[in-house]
Amino acid sequence: MKIKIKLPDDSERKFDSGMSCYEIAKKINPRFAKEALACVINNQLKDLNTIITSDSELKFLTFKDEEGKKVFWHSSAHILAMAVTKLFPKAKMAIGPAIENGFYYDFLVNKPFTKEDLKKIEGEMKEIIKQKIPFERKEVSKKKAQELFKNNEFKLELIKELKVKPSLYYNNKFVDLCRGPHVPHTGYVKAVKLLSTSSAYWKGRSDGKVLMRIYGISFPKKKMLDEYLKFLEEVEKRNHIKLGKQLKLYSFHPEAPGMPFFRNNGVLLMNNIMKYWQEEHDKLNYRIIMTPQILSADLWVRSGHSKHYKENMYYLEIDDKEYAVKPMNCPGGMLVYKEDSHSYKEFPLKVAEIGVVHRHELSGVLSGLFRVRRFTQDDAHIFMTEEQIVPVIKETVNLIIRMYKTFGVPLDHVEISTRPEKSIGTDEQWEIATTSLIKALNELGMEYTINEGDGAFYGPKIDFHLKDAIGRTWQCGTIQLDFALPENFDLTYIGDDNKKHRPVMIHRVVLGAIERFMAILVENYAGAFPLWLAPEKTRIIPISDRHKDYAKKIFEELRKKGMHCVLDDSQETVEYRIRKAQLMKVPLMIVIGDKEVKNKTLAVRTRDGKVKFGVKLNELIKEMKEKIEKRINE
């Protein structure tokens, strides 16, 4: 009997009933069959050895597909578990999923895995791969599964939670509880590398058992693994935590988890970022305010944050009254708005605040400057009439795009997020707001995607996602229309009819969390900042004591011109001092010897080793000022 198989290109082909997906793939194209890892039959993920007996839609998955990668990496996690349980028979398996880049498996063991252990485990995995052991799927009763895993409390808990018949995957005598699918046999994994080990709580619960997690990566070709390991080396070179310490920008201490300590160079870098920010906002007539760090708990009830955000806030008691450390700047800005009566003639009224906020993030998600508990936001609240929404949105979008371009960080994509299930405001308000955002981007000729149902509860938003130097994307800028706060705080303005009206308000940030944006810049430039951003512009290095007086004059003159520089007149060798400056990634080094003192010139060395002799100080200052004022990224 023949059955019809519909393929992704909408073509239909007939095959004998009872053939496996792998056999069908071979009939279509033997070469393609070798690349196939799993398949999708009528929208359901299946193993390649699945038999088809009726007309079906069929799609094959390869390593190029995201789902194909997940199948491949999940199969690799099983191979890891096979190796661990062979080498460490007392180890208890927990879970082993595929993740964004690779896989991991959690085990309960008597002592943590060492680097030597990982080498042995990796070696055993390679032996298992050589054997091309098939993955065989069996469905069993809950009772049978419970009996099989009676000594493993983790598997028993998972079996108890199952709402379907348990499925098991066998590799010879090894068995694991798994819904699959998997690659046909272990030999599909051509290259594997175990990367690291760490502790983890069972199911991420702080009261759960502490397990040991092993992370790994695998590929269907050795060349792909080699390329990935080179990529990881590049990632490590750009690691902002490591560079922050090396360049004396910031540090982290257990006395304040998730709250960075900024050193002098870090403050100088932030000042350079914020100087440009201030210039751009001055051009657009933003008013700058500052509001308190701690505000009464009543205010956060009025704003709605206590209802929607309380678990992320820090509360304290002062004079028998409850207060909260602000997680956002908005409510303070609303109080400032209410200080004066407002007219439509003032609109759009643009009020910005560089505000420090605190949010209670779980310790497990803290990650350098990318995820912190204390950070700075370049917030702004713009009050306007309904007719001004589109032009204000367009102006704000242009500001965001312009600033990203100046910083040399590429925009990856823009998305509009629409009304979520839980929201406030009328259908008419949401329609006007969403249509306005779409219209503004269309008029600017910008590409965007629609992220259905992911807007804030108080209004739709536009999010701007940056791509960093290693390909990750970060949501930084955002423009959010808000119906809630103008209503909750009874904000009004006098219209041209001399009556009170409710203003339209947007929240917006350009950089977002400035700490996160700084981390992106550190990694984007690998710490080698362009002159305008560099905390230390130049380092002056006199060759010997007789050159120090001239060096000091150069130092003082550069300082007068606003160039932050360092005079290194230590007793170390010139080569050592140059090397120190290079490690600090200083853009320019001025080396002063007899010739420079005699001719009143400078020998200027760039951080990549190029040297220019006979440079006049006024010429150097002119060139530096031009690069700084034009913010040239080189």
Write down the catalytic residue from 381, 516, 537, 585: 381
Contact status, residue 177 vs residue 190, Cβ threshold 8 Å = no
Any idea what the Cα angle at residue 292 is, between residues 288 and 294, rounded to 5°? 155
* Structure tokens that stand for 225 in this block: 């693994």
CA-atom Rg of the chain in angstroms: 31
What is the DSSP code string of 119-148?
A: HHHHHHHHHHHHTTPBPEEEE--HHHHHHH
C-alpha span between 210 and 107 (Å, rounded) = 9
Q: Tell me, yes or no, if 381 is annotated catalytic.
A: yes
Any idea what the Cα angle at residue 537 is, between residues 532 and 539, rounded to 5°? 170
Q: Tell me, yes or no, if 507 is annotated catalytic.
A: yes
Q: Tell me, yes or no, if 278 is annotated catalytic.
A: no
Contact status, residue 581 vs residue 587, Cβ threshold 8 Å = no
Q: Tell me, yes or no, if 358 is annotated catalytic.
A: no
Write down the catalytic residue from 46, 359, 537, 585: 359
Write down the catalytic residue from 507, 508, 516, 537: 507
Write down the catalytic residue from 47, 117, 176, 379: 379
DSSP 179: -
Rounded to the nearest 5°, which phi and psi values hold at 499? -110, 160
Q: Tell me, yes or no, if 582 is annotated catalytic.
A: no
Write down the catalytic residue from 21, 330, 476, 565: 330
Residue with tokens 């150069």: 554
* Structure tokens that stand for 338 in this block: 């209410």
Task: Single out the residue of 10, 72, 3, 86 nearest to residue 35, CA to CA.
Answer: 72
Length of the chain in terms of residues written = 634
* Structure tokens that stand for 246 in this block: 């090396």
* Structure tokens that stand for 251 in this block: 């540090």
Contact status, residue 295 vs residue 323, Cβ threshold 8 Å = yes
Q: Is 353 exposed, middle or buried (0-12, 13-18, 19+ CB in 10 A)?
A: buried
> Terminus-to-terminus CA distance in the chain, angstroms?
69
Q: How far are the Cα atoms of 29, 103, 183, 414 from residue 23, in angstroms, in the given order? A: 10, 29, 14, 43
Contact status, residue 169 vs residue 78, Cβ threshold 8 Å = yes
Write down the catalytic residue from 46, 70, 377, 539: 377
Question: Which residue(s) pair with 504 in the sheet?
Answer: 384
Task: Single out the residue of 4, 40, 34 nearest to residue 22, CA to CA.
Answer: 34
Cα dihedral angle (230, 66, 198, 156), rounded to 10 degrees?
-160
Write down the catalytic residue from 461, 508, 537, 585: 461
Contact status, residue 49 vs residue 21, Cβ threshold 8 Å = yes
DSSP 114: P
98-99 and 102-108 beta bridge pairing: antiparallel
* Structure tokens that stand for 420 in this block: 């979520």
Rounded to the nearest 5°, which phi and psi values hold at 405? -65, -40
Q: Is 524 exposed, middle or buried (0-12, 13-18, 19+ CB in 10 A)?
A: buried
Catalytic residues: 330, 359, 377, 379, 381, 461, 507
